[in-house]
Amino acid sequence: MNIVLMGPPGAGKGTQAKLIAQKWNIPHISTGDMLREAVKSGTELGRRVEEILDKGELVTDEVMKDVVKNRLRKEDTSSGFILDGYPRTRRQASHLDGTLDKLERSLTSVILVNASEQEVVDRISNRRICTDCGAVYNLISLRPKKDMVCDNCGVRLIQRSDDEAETVRMRYRLYMEKTAPIIEHYRRDSKLFIVDGSEPLKTVTTRIFDYLEKT
Ligand code: AMP
């Protein structure tokens, strides 16, 4: 099962991607997580992208091409993968086609989790994350058991620097301008499944699982 999960920032795709990865036992490849990890561990890639991530801008297509190519070459993707946050531009979509061709693989499905700008701003400004295990919470819909502390590791939760309202609006506009056009690319292949991300988390999961079970 080779899946691409698309959607505006804050539509809940990261949460859904984790659930899909668990259920089908395939790796969850989040390019955002990979880049944040690189920043945290101070690698050369991390130093190159740190400022871009903070501003909520996009890392160049060429850099992303290598990041994704190297990841998809790893053995654990042989029975499938779920790509979350890639591709984000037309060029990235064509790079991905090329990489998969070389690996003699193709996409099984593309899932789009949709949400409006206002929904996204409301949701992201309530998002808090654990810097230790990466768990994601929402102060309204997915509260931690203890106030502002991670359920898994007891670490204090923080707000990501690119989750502030103004940056979120900018990221949403960037999504509409650069990423939304590639939806057409996948619609033509008839592999696209669209789900309304403003529905409750569990409903969205059920719709996606039902769809994947049929494919
Ligand atoms: P995300 O967690 O997917 O929202 O990604 C966080 C940040 O990582 C984005 O705001 C970008 O700066 C960068 N990033 C992640 N994926 C990509 C990508 N496919 N192309 C360019 N930049 C990316």
The pLDDT-based confidence of 161 (bands split at 50, 70, 90) is: confident
Ligand 1: lining residues by beta carbon, under 6 Å: 9, 31-32, 35, 52-53, 56-59, 64, 85-86, 88, 92, 162, 171
Average of pLDDT values for 61-90? 97
Contact 167, 74 (CB under 8 A): no
The pLDDT-based confidence of 168 (bands split at 50, 70, 90) is: confident
Question: Which helix or strand (DSSP H or E) is residue 72 part of?
Answer: helix 61-72
Please count the residues of the chain: 215
Output the CA angle 178-106-173, nearest 5 degrees: 10
Token pair of 115 as six digits = 């949400």
Determine which of 4-8, 94-98, 158-162 has the lowest per-residue pLDDT on average.
158-162
Pairing of strands 2-6, 81-84: parallel
The whole-number pLDDT of residue 145 equals 96
* Percentage of the chain lying above the pLDDT 90 cut: 76
- For the cut 90, the answer to whether the pLDDT of residue 12 exceeds it is no
Token pair of 47 as six digits = 């130093």
Domains of the chain: 2-117+178-214 (3.40.50.300)
CA–CA distance, 98 with 107 (Å, rounded to integer): 12
Hey, whose CA ends up nearest to atom 8 of ligand 1?
Answer: 32
Which residues are tagged catalytic?
13, 88, 127, 160, 171
- For the cut 90, the answer to whether the pLDDT of residue 167 exceeds it is no
Hey, whose CA ends up nearest to atom 10 of ligand 1?
Answer: 56
CA–CA distance, 127 with 4 (Å, rounded to integer): 23
- For the cut 90, the answer to whether the pLDDT of residue 37 exceeds it is yes
